[in-house]
Chains A and B, each alone.
Chain A
Amino acid sequence: MKKVIILGATSGIALEVQRQLARRACELLLVARSPQRLSDLQSDLLVRGAPQVSTYSADLASIQQHAAIFEFARHTFPDFDTVLLAYGSMHDQKHSETSVDVLLEELQVNFVSATAILTLFAADLERRRTGCLAAITSVAGDRGRRSNYVYGSSKGALSLFLQGLRSRLHPAGVRVITIKPGPVQTPMTDHLPNAPHFADPQRVARDIVRALERRAPDVLYTPKIWRYIMAAVQQIPETISKRLSF
């Protein structure tokens, strides 16, 4: 892992992943909306050890901008080896139940735009028969739950997409990693009631970087305990599950 492209570089988890990659002297290309935030990140990561940090300001939720993002990436890093998709949106569930606009925006950001941009990068890696494609989905995608099934289904659909993509790219030797974090202390989850007890983003980032470096696993649960929790949750029969308010 030498040249890493981060889609959604200003997201809470991405911030920590980037620092750890900088310490490992990876070259980075950061994509996010705000030019000011990108420039602050760039100086930070350069001081922390990244030999090169390029930035590109674009709205990843807007598919029209994807071609330009991809062109810039190929131009800057013709031989990039890792892509990490780290952006996402979590609206208040109640909001997306009452407003179709909010619902569609959630699906657009977390699923539609994510699959669109991954498809561009997948083709390039498949052609070069190398590299690794990783995306952050969520444990919320493992089971539809009353309290956040809109966010959950957008991330669950992305996990399913990655599963198929993994199989498609396997013959070309391209890795596809599905990253499923439990709740993490980031700006995205600050409004949730139990936020202080959520996982430390540094710890989650450590797991992610380790997964990017090694050959395994295909699906990363982080912190690890979520693998077991979700295995159990998935076993709950529907007749019981539909009565649970969690």
Chain B
Amino acid sequence: MSGQSAAILRKKTAAPQLTKRILSWGRYPKTAHRRVHRPAWNDQLPEILSAAEPGSLLPYGLGRSYGDSCLNDRRELIDCRRLNRILGFDESTGMLRCESGVSLSDILDIFLPKGWFLPVTPGTRFVTVGGAIANDVHGKNHHCAGTFGTHVRQIGLHRSNDGLVICNSEENSDMLHATIGGLGLTGVIAWADIQLKRIAGPWIDAESIPFESLNAFLDLSGASNDRFEYTVAWLDCFAGKNPRGIFFRGNHAADRGKEVHAKRGLKLPVALPGWMLNRYSVKAFNTVYYKIHAARKGAAVVPYDSFFYPLDSIRQWNLLYGKQGFLQYQCVIPETNVEAVEEVLDRIARSGMGSFLGVLKQFGSAPTAGMLSFPRPGLTLALDFAMRGERTLRLMQSLDEIVRQSGGALYPAKDARMSPALFEASFPRWRGFVPYIDPKMSSSFWRRVTGAQGPQPL
């Protein structure tokens, strides 16, 4: 063996093993983690936290953040999925205490038959409670219920320097405020108290209405927000300045007395070849989708899961975008700058790179629950883009400019590429959040947008 290859061998064995197993939902960026802790009990967390190097850890749940906010490249993760116990439930008030790795899906399975529902739910049920708090997620009822964090009454937070900290509106309220929307950086949530909501049954009185311009959307949304608990619109982003779309609205229905059987239909087994999603196939899909819904417009009573979680019926739909993965662009734009939304849509339509998951929603004006919460009054638009390298990133950069000039913001949970300047513009209060970060915590996202490096662990 030559000296050189011996040196390579030595180097190989000396480097710590990195696992490439964990990716975020967008499968971009590709990361490699040095270690993944998998605690099964809350009592194991103090040891994991105290043994870690500064800036080396990040809690991880079901990995449904799209970009790098749930990743900690070259460092370590604490996989919280085994911390999935219900610690208590008050049948009379609907107050739930559970560990952070409990999924919203679990909560629905257990509590829906008892007549309780999530106070706020995002578009997938496969997120953990810890993730829902850390990203202060929102749903179709933002205009009347605020964010998920609004309904978190109390948390127990493991901190590396001061043990288990109880946070509620009286005690450590600032730490509660920082942890909601705090991207997992303030510590590991041991348990949370969440106020569930009484409902009559698993059915939704739903209505779908086609629209053909942004103003028509605004009229519909304005007219619906008082009368409908849930509102959202699907958008054909190939239509440009005058987007067509389908407006969905609904309320919980009086009980129909039937049990809903969760149907977990298809599962995408492997990543599709990237070329299958191109401007022609996606355009065709959008046209068909619009025509079908426009033809079926009107009211119907539908099961809750098809209303809230249409995409959950295709497991691993993220593999549609092929090996390179995809990026999601979710921004919020103040209502005073509606032209900016049109401009964003126009630019996407002209680029021909849009996809079939365009979502538009009018946020309400409820005060934010967390220091770094994303939702704020305005229109929020979410779109997927298959990752096609430089040109995809360039398009998104040009959208950034519009968002910034309109006084808008981007959503960290969906982001893998925003610049530090845009983060600053989106979250001008982020420096006030820094003192609440646990010294042992960091994330790929946080290092990227703030330039915080911390000690280099490798």
B41 within 8 A of A: yes
Mark B85-103 against chain A: 1 for CB-CB distance below 8 A, else 0.
Answer: 1111100000000010000
Nearest chain A CB to B33 CB, angstrom units? 12
The chain A residue sitting closest to B114, CB to CB, is: A47
Nearest chain A CB to B182 CB, angstrom units? 25
A37 within 8 A of B: yes
A173 CA to B40 CA, complexed, in Å? 38
Residues of B within 8 A of A190 (CB): 38
Determine if A37 and B87 form an interchain contact, defined as CB atoms under 8 angstroms apart.
no
- Option from A37, A187, A196 in Cβ contact (under 8 Å) with B21: A196
The chain A residue sitting closest to B38, CB to CB, is: A190
Chain A residues numbered 151-181 whose CB sits less than 8 Å from any CB in chain B: none
Chain B residues numbered 97-153 whose CB sits less than 8 Å from any CB in chain A: 99, 110
Interface size class of A (residues with CB under 8 A): 10 to 19
- Option from A10, A47, A187 in Cβ contact (under 8 Å) with B89: A47
A41 CA to B40 CA, complexed, in Å? 12
Chain A residues numbered 37-51 whose CB sits less than 8 Å from any CB in chain B: 37, 40-41, 43-44, 47-48
Residues of B within 8 A of A44 (CB): 85-87
Nearest chain A CB to B155 CB, angstrom units? 16
Determine if A37 and B86 form an interchain contact, defined as CB atoms under 8 angstroms apart.
no
A44 CA to B82 CA, complexed, in Å? 13
A41 CA to B41 CA, complexed, in Å? 10
A40 CA to B87 CA, complexed, in Å? 6
Chain B residues numbered 253-299 whose CB sits less than 8 Å from any CB in chain A: none
Nearest chain B CB to A89 CB, angstrom units? 15
A44 CA to B87 CA, complexed, in Å? 6
Nearest chain A CB to B46 CB, angstrom units? 13
A12 within 8 A of B: yes
User: Given A187-B38, A190-B38, A43–B43 Cβ distance below 8 Å?
Assistant: no
- Option from A15, A34, A36, A48 in Cβ contact (under 8 Å) with B86: A48
Determine if B110 and A47 form an interchain contact, defined as CB atoms under 8 angstroms apart.
yes
Q: Interface residues of B, CB < 8 Å — how many?
A: 14
A20 CA to B155 CA, complexed, in Å? 28
Residues of A within 8 A of B43 (CB): 34, 36-37
The chain A residue sitting closest to B44, CB to CB, is: A187
User: Given A34-B43, A196-B21, A43–B38 Cβ distance below 8 Å?
Assistant: no
A40 CA to B42 CA, complexed, in Å? 10
- Option from A12, A34, A41, A196 in Cβ contact (under 8 Å) with B85: A41
Determine if B87 and A12 form an interchain contact, defined as CB atoms under 8 angstroms apart.
no
Determine if B41 and A37 form an interchain contact, defined as CB atoms under 8 angstroms apart.
yes
A41 CA to B43 CA, complexed, in Å? 13
Residues of A within 8 A of B99 (CB): 40
Nearest chain B CB to A151 CB, angstrom units? 20
Mark A124-167 against chain B: 1 for CB-CB distance below 8 A, else 0.
Answer: 00000000000000000000000000000000000000000000
Q: Can you report 20 residue pairs joining A to B where beta carbons are below 8 Å apart?
A: A10-B41, A12-B40, A34-B43, A36-B43, A37-B41, A40-B42, A40-B87, A40-B99, A43-B85, A43-B88, A44-B86, A44-B87, A47-B86, A47-B88, A47-B89, A47-B110, A48-B86, A187-B40, A187-B82, A190-B38
Interface residues of chain A, those whose CB is within 8 Å of chain B, are 10, 12, 15, 34, 36-37, 40-41, 43-44, 47-48, 187, 190, 196
Interface residues of chain B, those whose CB is within 8 Å of chain A, are 21, 38, 40-43, 82, 85-89, 99, 110
19 more CB-based (< 8 A) A-B contacts, given A15-B40, A40-B41, A47-B88: A10-B41, A12-B40, A34-B41, A34-B43, A37-B41, A37-B43, A40-B42, A40-B85, A43-B85, A43-B87, A43-B88, A44-B86, A47-B86, A47-B110, A187-B38, A187-B40, A187-B82, A190-B38, A196-B21
Shortest 10 CB-CB contacts between residues of A and residues of B: A44-B85, A47-B86, A44-B86, A187-B40, A47-B89, A43-B87, A40-B85, A43-B88, A37-B41, A190-B38
